Amino acid sequence: MARNDEFFLNRWIQYYGGELGEENLFIYLDGVDQPIPKQAGKANIIHNERVAEHVVAAEKRRLAFLSDVAANLLKTYDIVIGVDADEFLVVDPKLGKTLLEYLSEIKISPSVSGLGIDIGQHLQHEPTLDYNKSFLTQREYAFLSSRYTKPSVISKAVQWGSGFHRVKKHNFRIDPNLYLFHFGSVDMEMIRMRFQDKDRMATGREKHIQKRAKTMHIITQKNALSNENWFCFARLIQTYIRPVYAWNKPSMAGLKMVIKVPERFKPIL
């Protein structure tokens, strides 16, 4: 479900359409005023009446709605993936498998998570994003964020928590070969434009947007790690360390780790 997000939606459709088939994509536009994305193709585009409310209430309503949508889709499909427009679930390219092939092989009971890879702009070394080029040819670094290690893939009806960050009443499992790339922090100029979006500001999303700018500052200030063993370390920490307020969410225990994105991922996104 998205609003005022056509740029990301077009990229989203291009990626997931190639992996899963456009006809298997379901996009819910938040408001009848929202234009159909130019790259919609065969994707199922559904307009919903917009309810303007504070972000906390809106997220609870949105994920309750999308959980019901997923439950209905599971009457037809074996697996449902729930992600936002700026999130891309990727299988490690070293396996040589598509997302469809890999998810068809692994156990999902009731969910599986990819490791959260929060891509951000290095403010000293990377220029403003060129919208006509791929993301990872322009961005080198990522913040290893438990916030984006989400139980995105489900095999039975569940209730997602706000933002897909957890599955209520269930634990999570982080798959060793899945990564959830988040691009909401990919460009500072994009963040500034979102601060000018009256719809977002009117519903209390200022702090949400500020968190994305914080990712860029962390990436700019921290020395990036290059050894991929840190991915394994992050999965281990996130599996066994939980926030005190939510046992079924992962945590990095306050560690702020920045890693250089491996070259093999760059042709994908």
Note the pLDDT tens digit of each residue in 14-32.
Answer: 999 999 999 999 999 988 9
Q: Are 30 and 51 in contact (CB under 8 A)?
A: no
Q: Are 164 and 155 in contact (CB under 8 A)?
A: no
* Segments of the chain with pLDDT less than 70: 54-55, 194-209
Looking at residue 49, its pLDDT comes to 85
Tokens of 22: 């456009």
Looking at residue 208, its pLDDT comes to 60
Looking at residue 37, its pLDDT comes to 93
- The span from the first CA to the last CA of the chain, in angstroms, equals 21
pTM of the predicted protein model: 0.92
Looking at residue 144, its pLDDT comes to 96
Inter-residue long-range contacts of 50-53, CB under 8 Å, 24+ positions, other chains counted = 50/3, 52/199, 52/202, 52/203, 53/203
- 219 closest CA partner among 134, 119, 115, 117: 119
Q: Which amino acid is at 172?
A: F
The C-alpha angle with vertex 74 and arms to 176 and 17, in degrees rounded to 5, equals 65
Half-sphere exposure of 69 (CA within 13 A, CB side): 19
Looking at residue 166, its pLDDT comes to 95
